Structure 1
């Protein structure tokens, strides 16, 4: 546990460009803002994105969720 007004320094090798979530595994903690996103090598991310694949995955999830009556309790998790 960090003391009040404390800080934490983290160092890691930046060899995997992406937006990485850092969170615990209690869903409502994420909803309440107890998570952070580490944006690693921002300028290197865009060339790695394949929007056709991303859109296809989103459409597949939307279809599955509608067909199976999936209830998403939270958009953050």
Structure 2
């Protein structure tokens, strides 16, 4: 799975203003969760840990933008 194929799935209204690494990590986690071999699927503990790390990265990304733009400051506060 490539970032370019993932971009086709993202709402164009996002205007490429989202943490690309988080989208990629989320897609890879989703792919693992539906693996044909149940042994290779992550257990719920692993899923929660991975999602928590992705959310934290996303919040950090938003925080860096909040300092640079009035538009993003509103987005972070509206969360």
Scaled by the length of structure 2, what TM-score is found? 0.31
Looking at secondary structure, tell me which structure has more strand per residue.
1
